[in-house]
């Protein structure tokens, strides 16, 4: 239960920081954006978002910075 609350707080923090498009794409397209082992499929995520790889990597780095890599 606590884990679920922590995750929702982190997700809300990213949405408030302007990354709602990225969060929604990763959450609602899990079968396209993650591998069977649970790793991020960057090319799949880029296809869903319509972004270039560098743009995705920069956004993920900024998300890590925002969250303090929690």
Sign of CA dihedral 34, 27, 10, 3: negative
Q: How confident is the model at residue 69 (pLDDT cuts 50, 70, 90)?
A: low
Domain extent, residue 12, equals 2-67
Q: Tokens in use for 26?
A: 């990763």
Single pTM value for the model: 0.85
Give the model confidence (pLDDT) of 43-54 as tens digits.
999 999 999 999
Give CA–CA dist 4/56, Å, rounded.
25
Count of the separate structural domains present in the chain: 1
Give the model confidence (pLDDT) of 1-58 as tens digits.
678 888 899 999 999 999 999 999 999 999 999 999 999 999 999 999 999 999 999 9
pLDDT beyond 60 at 70: no
């Amino acid at each position: 239960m606590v884990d679920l609350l922590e995750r929702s707080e982190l997700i809300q923090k990213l949405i408030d920081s302007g990354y709602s498009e990225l969060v929604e794409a990763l959450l609602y397209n899990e079968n396209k954006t993650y591998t069977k082992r649970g790793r991020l499929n960057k090319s799949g995520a880029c296809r869903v978002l319509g972004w270039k790889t560098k743009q995705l990597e920069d956004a993920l780095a900024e998300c890590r910075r925002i969250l303090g890599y929690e």
